[in-house]
Structure 1
Amino acid sequence: MGKLIIENVSKSYGEKKALKDFSFEVNGGEIVGLIGKNGAGKTTLLNVIAGNIFCDEGKIYYDQTNILEDGQVRKDFGILIQPAFLDYMNTEDNLRLLQNALGEWDKKVINNRIKNVLNMVGLTGKEKTYVKSFSFGMKQRLGFAQALLNGRKVMILDEPFVGLDIKGREMVKKYVKQYAKENNISVIFSDHNLDEVRSLCDRVVVIADGEKKYDGDVYSRKKYEIKVGDINESLIGSMQRFDDIHVSVGESNIIVDNKEMINDVISTIVKHAVIKDVSIIDDSLERFFEA
Structure 2
Amino acid sequence: MEDVIIKKLTKKFGGNTAVEDINLNIEKGSLFTFLGPSGCGKTTILRAISGFLKVDEGKIFLGERDITNVSPEKRDIGMVFQNYALFPHMTVYENVAYGLKIKRFSKQDIDKRVEKYLELVSLNGYEDRKISELSGGEQQRVALARSLVTEPKILLLDEPLCNLDAKLRIKMRNDIKLLQQKLGITTIFVTHDQEEALTMSHKIAVFNRGSCVQVGTPSEIYSNPKNSFVANFIGETNLFKIDSVSDAPRCIYIDEETKLDTEQDPSNKLFASIRPEHIGIKARSSGRVNEFKGIIERVQFNGNIINYLVKVKNIEVTVTSVNSLEENDKFFPLQEVYIEIPKNSVRLLKE
TM value normalised by structure 1? 0.71
| Cα distance in 1 for residues equivalent to 2:183 and 2:60 | 23
Q: In 2, are the aligned partners of 1:177 and 1:200 still within 8 Å (CA)?
A: no
Larger radius of gyration: 2
1:46-195 correspondence to structure 2 within 5 Å = 46-71=46-71, 74-82=74-82, 83-101=84-102, 103-164=103-164, 165=168, 166-180=170-184, 185-195=185-195
| Cα distance in 2 for residues equivalent to 1:136 and 1:160 | 10
Q: Report what 2:323 is aligned to.
A: none
Q: Deviations over 1:194-228 (max 9, x none)?
A: 2322222111101111111001121122489xx9x
- Over aligned residue pairs, what C-alpha RMSD do you find? 3.2
| Cα distance in 2 for residues equivalent to 1:167 and 1:194 | 16
More helix by share: 1
Instruction: Structure 2: state its 5+ residue gaps.
Output: 227-244, 248-264, 270-343
Matched, 1:281 2:347: yes
Shift of 1:50: 0.7
Runs of 4+, deviation exceeding 6 Å: 249-253
Shift of 1:116: 1.7
Q: Aligned letter for 1:211?
A: S
Distance 1:154 1:250, change over 3 A: farther
Distance 1:52 1:250, change over 3 A: farther
Q: Report what 1:202 is aligned to.
A: 202
| Cα distance in 1 for residues equivalent to 2:108 and 2:136 | 30
Shift of 1:106: 2.1
Q: Deviations over 1:215-259 (max 9, x none)?
A: 1121122489xx9x9xxxxxxxxxxxxxxxxxxx99979xxxxxx
Shift of 1:280: 3.6
| Cα distance in 2 for residues equivalent to 1:223 and 1:19 | 21
Distance 1:31 1:74, change over 3 A: farther
Shift of 1:86: 1.8
Q: Deviations over 1:7-45 (max 9, x none)?
A: 111111111111111110111111111100011111111
Q: Aligned letter for 2:96?
A: L
Instruction: Structure 1: state its 5+ residue gaps.
Output: 230-248, 254-277
